[in-house]
């Protein structure tokens, strides 16, 4: 019976490690997606800034065109001043000239503001370009690490599966059924050591007589509290 229990303990150890690895592997896609999202978000923010810069440049060109058109209009109006015959027409044309000058002044202010904004965005984009290179290298490095870890874990999982088959074949089929039943009811841990008369599966004391009987390993024993298979563990 001792050999059978030892094999159960080994089987459980294999399952525990296998479950740990499967848990890691189940998160691989999420980890890779998270890294890709990080890079995509950075790229999208950069694109948004580039679009904003493009809009500002279009506005600047439009303002420049308006200035040129108004300047041409202003020149023609000023040339007409020498040919005006009445004071009323003269004053009206002067007002028109001042209005155009005011409009041009306002447009020039908007152009200056646009230039400042464009300079700011260009500086931001230059910084982001360097940041992107660093982030891209970091993301690619982490993806490579995850890929290597995944290959290593898959290899280890295959080894554990082979070990599980080897040890399970050594266990009495009826005992294996009991093990599976207990495991399913006890949260995945079917076998627990007992040290100092305490079940390490639930941390509850077991009866003295049962504790003494465990030393002999001549029969299967179950914890009265958690119903796990228990075995003697040297202190």
Q: Are residues 88 and 145 in the same domain?
A: yes
Neighbours of 163 (CB within 10 A): 16
Instruction: Name which of 179, 221, 225 is nearest 2 in CA terms.
Output: 221
User: What's the burial of 8, exposed, middle or buried (CB within 10 Å: 0-12/13-18/19+)?
Assistant: buried
Report the alpha-carbon distance of residue 6 to residue 173 in Å, rounded.
15
pLDDT in single tens digits along all 235 residues of the chain: 889 999 999 999 999 999 999 999 999 999 999 999 999 999 999 999 999 999 999 999 999 999 999 999 999 999 888 888 899 998 999 999 999 999 999 999 999 999 999 999 999 999 999 999 999 999 999 999 999 999 999 999 999 999 999 999 999 999 999 999 999 999 999 999 999 999 999 999 999 999 999 988 889 999 999 999 999 987 5
Q: What is the DSSP letter of 203?
A: T
**Predicted local distance difference test score (pLDDT) of residue 2:** 87
Report the alpha-carbon distance of residue 8 to residue 176 in Å, rounded.
8
Last residue of a domain, one of 168, 194, 221: 168
**Predicted local distance difference test score (pLDDT) of residue 190:** 97
**Predicted local distance difference test score (pLDDT) of residue 132:** 94
Last residue of a domain, one of 168, 191, 209: 168
Last residue of a domain, one of 168, 184, 200: 168
**Predicted local distance difference test score (pLDDT) of residue 233:** 83
Q: What residue numbers bound the domain in which 202 lies?
A: 173-232
**Predicted local distance difference test score (pLDDT) of residue 235:** 56
Q: Is the dihedral of CA 194, 195, 200, 206 positive or negative?
A: positive
User: Which residue matches tokens 């024993």?
Assistant: 221
Instruction: Name which of 123, 223, 215, 124 is nearest 182 in CA terms.
Output: 223
Q: Are residues 191 and 125 in the same domain?
A: no
* DSSP track, 92-141: HHHHHHHHHHHHHHHHHHHHHHHHHHHHHHHHHHHHHHHHHHHHHHHHHH
Alpha-carbon distance values, 139 to 29, 31, 144 (Å): 14, 11, 9
Strand partners, 205: 198
Q: Are residues 77 and 114 in the same domain?
A: yes
Residues 6+ apart with CB under 8 A from 207: 224
CATH classification of the domain holding 104: 1.10.287.1490
Q: Are residues 12 and 61 in the same domain?
A: yes
Q: Are residues 86 and 130 in the same domain?
A: yes
Q: Are residues 193 and 148 in the same domain?
A: no
Q: Are residues 108 and 209 in the same domain?
A: no
**Predicted local distance difference test score (pLDDT) of residue 79:** 87
Q: Are residues 142 and 92 in the same domain?
A: yes
- Spacing of C-alpha 211 from chain mean position: 50
Q: Are residues 86 and 44 in the same domain?
A: yes
Q: Are residues 24 and 123 in the same domain?
A: yes
- Is the pTM higher than 0.75? The answer reads no
Domain count, the chain: 2
Q: Are residues 123 and 54 in the same domain?
A: yes
Q: Are residues 105 and 220 in the same domain?
A: no
Length of the chain: 235
């Amino acid at each position: 019976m001792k050999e059978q229990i030892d094999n159960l303990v080994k089987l459980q150890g294999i399952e525990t490690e296998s479950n740990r690895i499967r848990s890691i592997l189940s998160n691989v896609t999420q980890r890779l997606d998270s890294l890709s999202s990080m890079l995509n978000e950075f790229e999208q923010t950069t694109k948004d800034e580039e679009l904003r810069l493009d809009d500002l440049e279009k506005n600047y060109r439009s303002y420049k065109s308006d200035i040129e058109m108004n300047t041409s209009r202003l020149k023609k109006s000023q040339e007409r001043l020498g040919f005006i015959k009445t004071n009323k027409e003269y004053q009206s044309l002067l007002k028109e000239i001042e209005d155009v000058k005011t409009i041009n002044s306002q447009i020039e202010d908007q152009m200056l503001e646009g230039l400042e904004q464009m300079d700011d965005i260009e500086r931001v984009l230059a910084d982001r370009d360097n940041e992107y290179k660093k982030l891209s290298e970091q993301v690619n490095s982490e993806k490579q690490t995850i890929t290597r870890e995944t290959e290593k874990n898959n290899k280890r999982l295959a080894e554990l599966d082979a070990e599980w088959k080897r040890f399970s074949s050594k266990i009495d089929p009826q005992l294996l059924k009991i093990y599976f039943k207990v495991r399913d009811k006890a949260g995945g841990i079917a076998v627990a050591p007992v040290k100092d008369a305490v079940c390490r599966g639930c941390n509850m004391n077991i009866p003295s007589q049962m504790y003494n009987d465990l030393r002999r390993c001549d029969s299967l024993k179950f914890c009265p509290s958690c119903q796990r298979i228990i075995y003697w563990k040297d202190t």
